[in-house]
Structure 1
Amino acid sequence: MTKRIHGLTRRTVLKGGVAGATLLAAPAIVSRAALASSGEINILMWSDYLPETFLSAFTEGTGIKVNFTGIGSNEEIINKLKATRGRGFDLCSPTNNRSLQWKDMELLQPFDMSKVSLDTVNPAMAKIGSTDWAFEPGTDYWLPHIWGTEGMAWRTDLFTPDGEFPSYGDVWKEENAGKTMGRDHSMMLGAGLYMETIGELEAGDVWKAYTSPEEMTRVWTRITDWCVARKGNIKLFWNDADSQKNGLLNEGVIVGQTWDGPPLALKTAGEPVMYRAPKEGAMAWVDGLAIPVGAENTDAVYEFVKYAYMPELAGEAIDHHGYNSPVLGADTFAGETYAKNFADAYPGDALAKLNPWPAEPQWYADARTEFKNRLLSA
Structure 2
Amino acid sequence: MRKHTGKSVSRRLVLKAAAVGGTALAMPAIVSRSVLASSGEINIMMWSDYLPDPFRDAFTKKTGIKINFTGIGSNDDILNKMKATNGQGFDLISPTLNRSLLWEPLGLIQPFDMKKIPIDKVNPAMAKMGETVWNFGGKGVAWVPHIWGTEGVSWRTDKFKPAGEFPSYGDIWDDANAGKTMGRGHSVMLGAGLALERKGEMAPGSMWAAYQSPEKMTEVWSKLTEYCIGKKKNLKLLWNDADTQKNGLLNEGVIVAQTWDGPPIALKTAGEPVMYRAPVEGAMAWVDGLALPVGVKNVDQVYAFIEACYDAALAGEAIKTHGYNSPVTGADKFAGDVYAKNFADAYPGDALAKLNPWPPEAPWYAEKRTEFVNKFMSA
SS class of match (1:127): helix
Equivalence map 1:255-270=2 (5 Å): 255-270=256-271
Cα contact 1:43–1:69 (8 A) shared by 2: yes
User: Cα offset for 1:33?
Assistant: 10
Cα RMSD (Å) = 1.9
Task: Give runs of ≥4 in structure 1 deviating > 3 Å.
Answer: 6-12, 19-27
Change (3 A) 1:168 1:63: same
Distance change in 2, residues 1:172/1:278 (3 Å) = same
Q: Which amino acid aligns with 2:201?
A: E
Give the AA of the match of 1:95: T
- Contact kept, 8 Å, 2:24 with 2:58, in 1: the verdict is no
Match of 2:211 in 1: 210
Higher share in helix: 2
Q: Is 1:31 the equivalent of 2:34?
A: yes
Match of 1:235 in 2: 236
Is there any run of 5+ residues in structure 1 with no aligned partner, and where?
A: 1-5, 13-18
8 A contact 1:25–1:57 mirrored in 2: no
The secondary structure found in structure 2 opposite 1:140 is coil
Letter in 2 for 1:24: M
Using the TM superposition, give the Cα deviation of residue 27 of structure 1 relative to its aligned residue in structure 2, in angstroms.
5.9
1 CA distance for matches of 2:268 and 2:353?
24
**Residue 372 of structure 1: aligned partner:** 373
Q: Which residue does 2:179 correspond to in 1? A: 178
User: Does structure 2 retain, via aligned residues, the 8 Å contact 1:27–1:60?
Assistant: no
| Counterpart contact for 2:27–2:62, Cα < 8 Å | no
Counterpart of 1:352 in structure 2 is 353
When residues 251 and 88 of structure 1 are mapped into structure 2, their CA distance, relative to the original with a 3 A threshold, is same
Distance (Å, rounded) in 2 between the aligned partners of 1:110 and 1:83: 21
Which amino acid is the alignment partner of residue 367 of structure 1?
Answer: K
1:267-278 to structure 2, matched below 5 A, reads 267-278=268-279
Letter aligned with residue 229 of structure 1: G
Alignment partner, residue 295 of structure 1: 296
CA contact (8 A) 2:121 2:329 kept: yes
Q: Secondary structure at the match of 2:99?
A: helix
In the alignment, what sits opposite 1:3? none
Q: Which residue of 1 aligns with 2:19?
A: none
TM-score normalized by the length of structure 1: 0.93
Whole-angstrom CA distance in 2 between matches of 1:255 and 1:20: 31
For the Cα contact (< 8 Å) 2:197–2:204, is it kept in 1? yes
Give the direction of change, closer, same or farther, for the CA distance of 1:9–1:122 in structure 2 (3 Å limit).
closer
Aligned-partner Cα distance in 2 for 1:227–1:297: 46
CA contact (8 A) 2:276 2:345 kept: yes
Counterpart residue type for residue 320 of structure 2? D
145 and 151 in structure 1: CA distance in 2 versus 1, 3 angstrom threshold: same
The amino acid of 1:280's aligned partner reads E
Looking at structure 2, the residues matched to 259 and 238 of structure 1 have their Cα atoms a distance apart, in angstroms, of 11
Structure 2 residue matching 1:325: 3-state secondary structure: coil
Query: 2:6 maps to what in 1?
Result: none
Q: Is the 8 A contact 2:261 2:323 kept in 1?
A: yes
Q: Quick one: which amino acid aligns to residue 27 of structure 2?
A: L
Change (3 A) 1:58 1:220: same
Q: What is the correspondence of 1:285-324 to structure 2 with a 5 Å cutoff? A: 285-324=286-325
Where does the alignment leave 5 or more consecutive residues of structure 2 unmatched?
1-8, 16-21
Pairing 1:62–2:83 present = no
The farther-off stretch of 241-250 and 20-29 is 20-29
Aligned to 1:85: 86
In 1, the alpha carbon distance for the partners of 2:355 and 2:266 equals: 21
Equivalent position amino acid for 2:377 in 1:
L
Q: What one-letter code is carried by the residue in structure 2 that aligns with 1:109? A: Q
Partner of 1:16: none
Q: Is the 8 A contact 1:28 1:62 kept in 2?
A: no
After TM superposition, give the deviation of residue 336 of structure 1 in Å.
0.6
Cα deviation, residue 10, structure 1: 3.9
> Given that residues 315 and 332 in structure 1 are in contact (C-alpha distance below 8 angstroms), is that contact kept between their aligned partners in structure 2?
yes
| Counterpart residue type for residue 287 of structure 1 | D
Once the two structures are superposed, residues 266-322 of structure 1 have per-residue CA deviations (whole angstroms, 9 ceiling, x without a partner) of 000000000000000000000000000000011111111100000011000000100
What SS does the corresponding residue of 2:141 show, helix, strand or coil? coil
- Spell out, residue by residue over 1:219-267, the C-alpha distance to the aligned partner (whole angstroms, 9 max, x if none): 0001100100100111010110000000000000000000000000000
Cα distance in 1 for partners of 2:73, 2:184 equals 11
Amino acid at match of 2:33: V
Alignment of 1:319-334 (within 5 A): 319-334=320-335
